Structure 1
Amino acid sequence: MKKELHIFFTALMFYTRIPCPKNIDHHPDYLNKATRYFPLIGWIVGSISFLAFYIFSLFLSTEIAVILAIITSVLTTGAFHEDGFADVCDGFGGGWTKEKILMIMKDSAIGAYGAIGLVLLFLLKFKLLSESVLLFETGLPFSVSPILLLFVSAHALSRLAAISIIFTYEYSRDDASSKSKPIAKSNTWKEVLGAFFFGLLPLFVLSYFKYQLLLVLIPVFMTRYFLARYFQKWIDGYTGDCLGATQQVCEVIYYLSILLVWKSF
């Protein structure tokens, strides 16, 4: 139990800015095992984001509360995944060889592709999440519970889609300089089972209110599949930035799918 707590806090330290016990560090062995808790971190980030939304929605409009909730999630993770998305936009937008793409992604400066990508990403996320919240407020009883599950399941499922790439593809960089390198080691059934359990459970609970919502799994994992294949084609695998980009894109696809499923059934 003590070891599992250490692994969990390792995941919390690596993927968020939430303070952890002083004895927790980025030990490679624990960081590799921490992949099983990556979707569980989505529970925490999603809950914090929802809490911000709920508090601000008591005094402000839904749209403003959604913006502040998104800002809260970015602050909670330190823009960890958004940074990866921007790097992927710059790398794959400006590079035409594996070496060039990897070199651009490692550059800490943000380019035009990354800036444009982030603007469009946040616009989509804001609009889709706002409409999803409004649908849940007007279409379901006890609306606070499903909206909480909406936030949590979005963060958990998108993180599952991202982390599942390491189960089926190889790490792209040959050197061990990347801080994401340790998570690319071989994973056991515990990592796979843990990731899928924590990634899928919130959506299964949310489907109690409308079982057709389970259909969002199809577009989310189709997106994950095509992104992984795209990364494989150009850089022979994935990097930490690719995982961050996958999380962000799949989160947006999740909100879009929620709207499409809701309006179709």
Structure 2
Amino acid sequence: MNGSWIQSRADEARLALMLLTRLPMGRLDPAPTLSAAAWAYPLAGAVVGAIAGLVYLLAQGLGLQPLPAVVLAVAAGVVATGGMHEDGLADLADGFGGGGDRARKLEIMRDSRVGSYGVIALCLALLLRVVLLAEVLPGHAPLFFLLGLGALSRAPLPVLMRLLPAARPDGLGRSASLQIGAGQAGAAVLVGLVLALLFLPGFFCPVFAAAAATALTGLLARRQIGGFTGDVLGAAQIAAELAALLALAAA
């Protein structure tokens, strides 16, 4: 393992953070390809989870109860990502709920305005995330729990990009999906599974639930619009996270 190999993987991890977060990562010159960074999506999720966990610990240190501490932690995670996954969920709900045919659904999803379906989906998802975290987080190490959850919920995204066609002939999803190989998708899954095994209780229940939720999101997207977009990936991340939390809460 030479220095250039390590530098290449570090650059890919930085690019994944640039794509999935709003954290300052400096400049990459030359930059890796978008597809090369796909394996590091779980690492970007782990960083977001760690930020949320640190905020939770800080809130607890200030004497806050679990519920307000969870609200602050969730808010920190949303700020760290720029709300990109939440935006994807809202756009997907608006498109799938309000569009008549495939073209209309894609047109609605591209519209920056949020409709009633999007608002409802977003509110329910945030409420469910807060309630479930307030239930399952006490009793666990919050920093490591949220780190593992962030990694697990992003690990299946390159698999969707590998297995599904891009729904649009243009855009970021199309250019990235054309080059994502089985090795990159498999490496993302492996990284996510390792971090989930290390930091999440139960392992099999949250992993199975996250995989099932991602698969259902992908099947729905294939039926509704013929493939994936960035919005579909954002919605899939939230679906995987909520499904994992539901499995942990029910265990």
Q: Same fold (TM over 0.5)?
A: yes
Aligned match of 1:185: 178
Give the 4+ runs in structure 1 shifted more than 4 A.
none
Kindly report the root-mean-square deviation, in angstroms, between the aligned alpha carbons of the 2 structures: 1.7
Please say if 1:56 is aligned against 2:51.
Answer: no
Q: Percent identity?
A: 29
For 1:39, give the aligned amino acid: P
Q: Report if aligned partners of 1:10, 1:24 keep a CA contact under 8 Å in 2.
A: no
Say whether the 8 Å CA contact 1:171–1:237 is kept in structure 2: yes
- Aligned partners of 1:39 and 1:199 also within 8 Å: yes
Is residue 33–residue 183 contact of structure 1 (8 Å, CA) maintained in 2? no
SS at match of 2:33: helix
Decide whether the 8 Å contact of 2:12 with 2:37 is kept in 1. yes
Correspondence 1:121-160 to 2 at 5 A: 121-134=125-138, 137=139, 143-144=140-141, 147-160=142-155
Q: 2:103 aligns with which of 96, 99, 102?
A: 99
Q: Deviations over 1:107-154 (max 9, x none)?
A: 0111111111111111100000100012xx2xxxxx43xx33321121
Correspondence for 2:3: none
SS at match of 1:30: coil
Q: Where does 1:70-219 land on structure 2 (aligned, <5 Å)?
A: 70-134=74-138, 137=139, 143-144=140-141, 147-174=142-169, 176=170, 178-206=171-199, 212-219=202-209
Letter in 1 for 2:147: V
Q: Offset at 1:24?
A: 5.5
TM-score by length of 2: 0.92
Gaps of 5+ in 2: 1-5
Gaps of 5+ in 1: 138-142
Aligned length: 245
1:11 equivalent in alignment to 2:16: yes
Q: Deviations over 1:58-104 (max 9, x none)?
A: 12111111000000000000001110010001000101211001000
Distance 2:66 2:95 in 1: 35
Partner of 1:43: 46
Match of 1:226 among 205, 213, 216: 216
Q: Normalization by structure 1: what TM-score?
A: 0.87
Instruction: Return the match for 1:241 from 227, 231, 248.
Output: 231
